[in-house]
Amino acid sequence: MHMKPLGHSGLKVSAVGIGCMNFGAVCDAGATRAVVDAALDAGINFFDVADIYGGPKGQAETLLGQALGPRRAEVILATKFGAKTGGRGGAVAGGGTAAYIRQAVDASLGRLGTDYIDLYQHHFPDADTPLEETLRALEDLVTQGKVRHVGCSNYSSAQLRGAAIAARSLGARGFVSAQNRYSLLHRDIEHDLVPIAQGQQVGILPYFPLESGLLTGKYRAGEPPPPDTRFARWGGGGTFATPERWAAMGHLQACADDLGHSLLDLAIGWLAAQPFVASVIAGVTSPGQVHANVAAASWEPTSEELTRIGSLAASPGAAA
């Protein structure tokens, strides 16, 4: 497994990571352990969870901590704080305050069964709390040894720039990573957030890299989704599967066939090859999916192949 730098943290993370949103929601304790064991054995060292994941809330952290057990020291463990339950509603009220952060980190440490978190990420920006308060509280956690590095998620380019300025004024270490939606079909961060991140040596952690399964190749335009898939449970792909996206999918599949690779290879391999991407966070529910993602991340497209693939997908600024 290829390792990449996590921003300016000095840490190295696997080119593909495990997104743990399914733990406790789709995967029970046994299935979670099977996924974690397969990932560790395949060389994946980056696990990304959040305090709101699972059913009930927090269960994903608990199951992940139990599955890691004595192998916890082998991984870069990342979690997030400050989102409403389910994550769909954005920031929780007061989620960036010092009091909230102190309570949230202790709760996450307890559920994860660890005394430190490698990467602690602000899940959604809190517009009602001064950023200086958030950064100062996070710096205190680093000083106390509860957290090694801090990152953000769903920050805009302006907010990421503001965070860097505030961190410098406070003498704080600041964010080493930015976790945002990014895929072949959703590339709006390329023209605003990415240049700011590169200037600050902040690593990008893409979420929804497979657009809820659309880029795995398991779905076909005009055909009913396979049973027991996300699209089947939803009754269709919704905004993930628009006519424009199906058209792009046809071009990408033809390109994959011509290159002798799968659509999954293109989706993950193209992302992992971007110099500003630290680790591609992909949610999985089985060891088979872990192995497929590892194989995809192991493919190293040539510069010509990267250009060709990128030209077939949505242009920067396009969004679902």
What is the spatial distance between Cα 285 and Cα 310, in angstroms, rounded to a whole number? 28
What is the H or E stretch that residue 40 is in? Answer: helix 29-41
Comparing CA positions, the residue from 129, 120, 58 lying closest to residue 93 is 129
Q: Structure tokens of 314?
A: 């949505």
Catalytic residue among 53, 120, 155, 182: 53
- Would you tell me how many other CB atoms lie within 10 Å of the CB of residue 314? 18
Q: Which residues contact 19 (CB under 8 A, 6 or more apart)?
A: 48, 207, 281, 282, 283, 284
Backbone angles phi, psi at 306, to 5 degrees: -60, -45
Indicate if 219 belongs to the active site: no
Question: Cα(26)–Cα(60) distance, rounded to whole angstroms?
Answer: 10
Q: Are strands 3-5 and 12-14 parallel, antiparallel or unpaired?
A: antiparallel
Please list, in sequence order, all residues whose beta carbon lies within 8 angstroms of the beta carbon of residue 60, skipping any fewer than 6 positions away: 20, 21, 22, 23, 24, 25, 49, 50, 53, 54
Hey, what are 257's tokens? 């066939």
Annotated catalytic residues are: 53
